[in-house]
């Protein structure tokens, strides 16, 4: 199955520096809902040149895209195994001078498998930046 990447560079809207960023995505990568905080986070990574490329031909991956693909792969495994339980994947990422917690939730739909959803959240975290902190 070939999946396009969600368009995280949605039209700009007023932003807020506080609160949780929230994205709801379909299995085919369509953004069904994105709030201002999540849009701000996505916009930050799309417009930061050093994060966009490692070389002239190799783009760096966006942390939300990595999380999206990991949640999607896990969601597809749950559906194939007929495991209808919800799950969560959590990561920490650097953003600006701080740290954000990224959480991805897979919500399989037994009745209509293609209606299964993914919810991604972005929360600003106090404290030191992560090294290679990642949990699933």
Average pLDDT, the chain: 76
Residue 95: inside a domain: yes
N residues, the chain: 136
| Total number of domains in the chain | 1
Q: Is residue 26 part of a domain?
A: yes
pTM of the model: 0.70
Q: Please say whether the beta carbons of 18 and 41 come within 8 A.
A: no
Q: Is residue 7 part of a domain?
A: no
**Residue 88 belongs to a domain:** yes
Domain around 47: 21-131
DSSP SS3 for 61: coil
We report the CATH number of the domain holding residue 113 as 3.30.450
Residue 27 forms part of a structural domain: yes
Hey, what are 108's tokens? 């399989």
Per-residue confidence at 10, pLDDT binned at 50, 70, 90?
very low
What separation, in Å, do the N-terminal and C-terminal C-alpha atoms of the chain show?
24
Task: State the pLDDT confidence band at 51, using cuts at 50, 70 and 90.
Answer: very low
- Give every CB contact of residue 123 below 8 A, 6+ residues apart in sequence: 20, 21, 100, 101, 103
For 104-124, write each residue's pLDDT tens digit: 999 999 999 889 999 999 998
Residue 120, domain member (yes or no): yes
């Amino acid at each position: 199955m070939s999946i396009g990447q969600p368009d995280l560079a949605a039209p700009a809207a007023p932003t807020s520096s506080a609160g949780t960023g929230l994205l709801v995505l379909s299995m085919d990568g369509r953004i069904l809902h994105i709030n201002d905080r999540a849009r701000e986070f996505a916009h930050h990574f799309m417009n930061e040149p050093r994060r966009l490329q490692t070389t002239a031909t190799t783009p760096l991956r966006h942390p939300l895209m990595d999380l999206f693909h990991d949640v999607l792969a896990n969601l597809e495994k749950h559906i194939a195994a007929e495991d209808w339980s919800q799950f969560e994947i959590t990561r920490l990422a650097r953003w600006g001078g701080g740290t954000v917690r990224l959480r991805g939730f897979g919500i399989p739909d037994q009745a209509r498998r293609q209606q299964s959803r993914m919810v991604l959240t972005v929360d600003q975290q106090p404290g030191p930046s992560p090294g290679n902190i990642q949990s699933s």
